[in-house]
Structure formats: structure tokens, C-alpha cells
Amino acid sequence: MGDMAFMDILLFAAVAAFLILRLRSILGRRTGAEDGERWRSRPPERTIERAEQVPDNVTPFPGAAKTVDVAPAEAAAPVGDPVVRKGIEQIRRADPSFSGDGFVQGARGAFEMIVQAFAQGDTATLKPLLAPEVYEGFAGAIKERLAAKQTLETTLVVILSAEIVDARMDGRTAYVTVKFVSEQVNVTRDADGNVVDGDAAKVAKLTDQWTFARDTRNRDPNWALVRTEEPA
């Protein structure tokens, strides 16, 4: 019985390692409230001259943010917009390993990780995943939250869809914008645990557009989040 349990542990560890390596190869390594305040201090998009170097260690996500019943990633729908298809082909010419479908799958995982880390105030996890200006905006919002002695609880119920809505090359830098539609529960509490924003009993349907960028001249496969917005 002990040997069987040990083998099960080894099997689970191997599967977990495979999934982490797969996410890294697609999108890069490890990588609110319902209204516009969720992603405050959004900086403008910038060209990345060099992809951010990411440490090899992987930080677990303990505690505050909860993820439940996240639907399995579905195959990405074919891109119907000819302009987007053209952009994807331009990126593929610069980086033959790029796959639109594969990128969407990795982007779903990155979205979940970043949302969780933001809720937890985990700036150490956020920093390698974000362009410097975006990181400053996220870190500033976290700092304000801590100064007010507030906590944000985020439950990412499900990612309903994720699709590429823009893809392009600017020089040797590739940009890919993904529109995420998700259901979340976001609640901000004060130091006494009282709700000051959000509703713990309400699941909100949210739409976000995130733009990722990567310098295709760099051997580092990592992409960085360079812009977030909420479509009108």
C-alpha cells in the first residue's frame, strides 16, 4: 500500500511538471471589483525592447483568491477576421513556433494567475509577467488597497471564452490581444471584514482585453502583459 501511494505521488508530480512546462513553452513562465476600478492606473501600451527575464522558481498561490469550477480550456475558435489572420501569419514568419490556438490556451492560464496574484497583492508573482508600466499600475492599486486596510477576495468562477482579437508585428515585436469573457465574484472588505465594494452573492460577467508582447529577436519565449482594457 505504501509503495502504491508513493507511485501515485510521483505520477501526480510528473503530470504537474508537464503542465507547468507546457504553459511556459506557450506563453512564458509563471507567470478587482466589478467596475472600472479593477485595473486602476492602466499605463499605455509600450514596445518591449527585450522580454522580461523570469526566474526559474515557481511560486505557489496560497490563500486569499479562490478559483472554483474553472471550465477546461476549449479549443480556440478559428479566427474569422482576415486582419487578425494576417497578423498571426506575420508573427509566424518572425517566430515559426507561434501558434494562435496554443497562445490562447496559455493566455487563459496567464489570465487566471494574474487575476489571482492581483487579488492576493502578490507583487512578486506579478512583476515578471507584466511590462514595467503595467506593473506600476497594478502595484499602485495594491498599495492603495493595503493603505486602506482593505482586502480583495476574487473567485474566478469560469473563463467563458478567450479569443484573439488583434495580432500584429511592430518592428520585431509581436503583439497579441486576447478578449476574455469570464464570470467572477469580487468582494472588497475593510479591516473588520465588512463589505465595502462588490457582492459575495453575485456572479458578474466581465469582459477584458489584454495585450501581450514579445521581442521575437530574443530567445526568451516569454510574453509580457503590456496593456489591459475593458471594451465599451
Residue type, 21: L
The SS3 of residue 29 is coil
Q: Provide the β-strand partners of residue 224.
A: 213
Phi, then psi, of 107 in degrees rounded to 5: -65, -35
Percent with pLDDT over 70 in the chain? 65
How far, in Å, are 118, 144, 227 from residue 43 at the CA level? 16, 17, 7
Q: For residue 203, what pLDDT is reported?
A: 96
Q: How far is CA 131 from the centre of its chain?
A: 13
Sign of CA dihedral 218, 219, 220, 224: positive
The string of DSSP letters for 184-221 reads: EEEEEE-TTS-EEEE-TT-PEEEEEEEEEEEETTSS--
Assess contact for 35 and 208: CB atoms under 8 A.
no
Total-model pTM: 0.69
Fold of 2-229: Nuclear Transport Factor 2; Chain: A, (3.10.450)
Assess contact for 209 and 178: CB atoms under 8 A.
yes
Q: Which three cell numbers stand for residue 218?
A: 530574443
- CA–CA dist 127, 189 (Å, integer): 25
pLDDT band at residue 81, thresholds of 50, 70 and 90? confident
| 170-224 confidence digits (pLDDT tens) | 999 999 999 999 999 999 999 999 999 999 999 999 999 999 999 999 888 889 9
| 96-127 confidence digits (pLDDT tens) | 999 999 999 999 999 999 999 999 999 999 99
Strand 224-229 relative to strand 151-170, pairing: unpaired
Assess contact for 191 and 150: CB atoms under 8 A.
yes
Which residues touch 225 (CB under 8 Å, ≥6 apart)? 110, 114, 129, 130, 131, 134, 210, 211, 212
| 53-79 confidence digits (pLDDT tens) | 333 322 222 223 333 333 443 334 455
The string of DSSP letters for 130-195 reads: B-HHHHHHHHHHHHHHHHTT-EEEEEEEEEEEEEEEEEEEETTEEEEEEEEEEEEEEEEE-TTS-E
At residue 85, does pLDDT exceed 60?
yes
What are the domain boundaries of the chain? 2-229
